[in-house]
Amino acid sequence: MYSAETSYSAMPVTSPKGLVNDAVSLRLQFIRKVYALMLSMIALVVVECAIFSLPPVMSYFNAHESQFWGLYWTACFAPLIELIPLIILRKRYPVNLVMLYVFAGTMGITCGMIVAMSDLTEVLAAATITLGVFGAITVYAFTTDKDFTYLYPMMFGLLIGALFACIWSIWIPFLDSMFCFLFAAIFSVYLLIDTQLIAKKLPVEEYVLGAITLFLDVLNIFMYILMMLNN
């Protein structure tokens, strides 16, 4: 005879261990998705840097300097505007991915133009240093028991203060290298914090937000190291 009691006893019971395994599996899938998106965004930037470094492109901008600087400053400020709808629509697929790569492409223009003004040895040195910093911080963030996410508010205040302080470099040019080092250090700490958030705390549906934060951290570290090397 069918009864509520037999129905209840027939229901599958998920053990706490099973719930933990499911949570770990979801977290690992989330981490893989975040890093896959971030690496594809970096790959797009690398392609743009290669295009801007082509001799015909460099010759064109050398002959049209006003267009070069017009594109440069547009590409510097456009991501600030693009970031607003990207954050708002970050959970709406597939528009979130389209906007994500548009954002990365615009950032790639700025990075590509900075690379085009630099020597190849400086670019390779900056890329190597950035790769080393990224690898070391990522391994440390995933293996340490210390939680650095509490530093986020302090780092934000330090970043804003550094942005205002760097205005002095307009009148004191030798401060440029010092501020580039400072910003590279700030974004290195941000990379540590963001990696820990992705590893343990960020909700699994926030894969676009995770990719944005890692992408900005890595790209800013690279660009500030490159600007510091080429002074």
Residue 31 reports pLDDT greater than 90? yes
Residue 10 reports pLDDT greater than 60? no
| pLDDT tier at 173, thresholds 50, 70, 90 | low
Structure tokens at 24: 């770990």
DSSP state of 145: S
Residue 7 reports pLDDT greater than 50? no
**82 three-class SS:** helix
State the Cα torsion 156-189-81-223 to the nearest 10°.
130
Residue-level pLDDT at 228 = 86
Residue-level pLDDT at 92 = 87
pLDDT digits (tens, 9 = 90+) for 206-223: 999 999 999 999 999 999
User: What is the pTM assigned to this prediction?
Assistant: 0.84
- Give the lowest-confidence range in 11-15, 90-94, 133-137, 146-150: 11-15
Residue 5 reports pLDDT greater than 60? no
Look up the domain containing 127 and give its range: 29-230
Count of domains forming the chain: 1
Domain annotation covers residue 20: no
Domain annotation covers residue 96: yes
Domain annotation covers residue 119: yes
pLDDT digits (tens, 9 = 90+) for 121-150: 999 999 999 999 999 999 999 999 888 888
- Overall average pLDDT of the 73-85 stretch: 87
Radius of gyration of the chain (CA): 22
What value does the mean pLDDT of the chain take? 84
Domain annotation covers residue 17: no
Cβ count within 10 A of residue 92 = 11
Domain annotation covers residue 43: yes
Domain annotation covers residue 11: no
Residue 77 reports pLDDT greater than 50? yes
Domain annotation covers residue 66: yes
Q: Which amino acid is at 64?
A: H
Domain annotation covers residue 170: yes
Residue-level pLDDT at 75 = 84
Question: What is the Cβ-side half-sphere exposure of residue 230, based on CA atoms within 13 angstroms?
Answer: 18
Q: Give 176: exposed, middle or buried? Use CB within 10 Å, 0-12, 13-18, 19+.
A: middle
